[in-house]
Amino acid sequence: MINSIKKYFKKAKEEAGKEYSISNSGQAIPGSSPSEDTGESRLPSAWTGVDLDGTLAYWDSGSSIERIGDPIPNMLDLVKKMIKNGIRIKIFTARATDPDQLPIIRKWLKKNGLGELEITSVKDYYMQRLYDDRCIQVERNTGRLIVDK
């Protein structure tokens, strides 16, 4: 258990320390850094997480990790609009904890017109928002649940 916790924090630290920039296509480019000519430093940019199963792709009682479901049109359109508007998107999924899932996720993303989005299962201080079918929003610093009426 202790080793898995240590691994988790190591991965979170690595992810938080990465630098990204947004290409003209709106895709984040991992490892890209500011121009060395200017000597300008660049902090990691804010990002929005989008869950995969049940949010961006269909997931039901017949689903399994061997296959990712069909895209959910409304969310697929929303993610594409966010990318077009320069918002850094990460696919935030528990699948990312299994290295064998990463090629499956990448293939699904490319097939559905999302290119090479970042994939993670780690939340950090740069995450601004999360779209997820399992979340319940809590009002900051109060503990009050925010629910639709």
Contact 88, 21 (CB under 8 A): no
Name the more confident of 149 and 47: 47
Structure confidence at residue 36 (pLDDT): 40
Instruction: Give the model's pLDDT for residue 29.
Output: 47
Q: Looking at residue 67, which CATH number applies to its domain?
A: 3.40.50.1000
* Lowest-confidence segment of 37-51, 86-100, 123-137 by average pLDDT: 37-51
**Mean pLDDT, rounded, for 104-121:** 96
Q: Whole-model pTM?
A: 0.69
**Residue 63 confidence (pLDDT):** 87
Q: What is the mean pLDDT of residues 77-101?
A: 96
Question: Domain range for residue 28?
Answer: 2-33+41-146
pLDDT in tens, 9-52: 565 556 555 544 444 444 444 544 433 433 444 557 899 999 99
What's the average model confidence in pLDDT over 53-58?
Answer: 97
Dig out the tokens for 47 from the structure.
Answer: 């990002």
Number of domains in the chain: 1
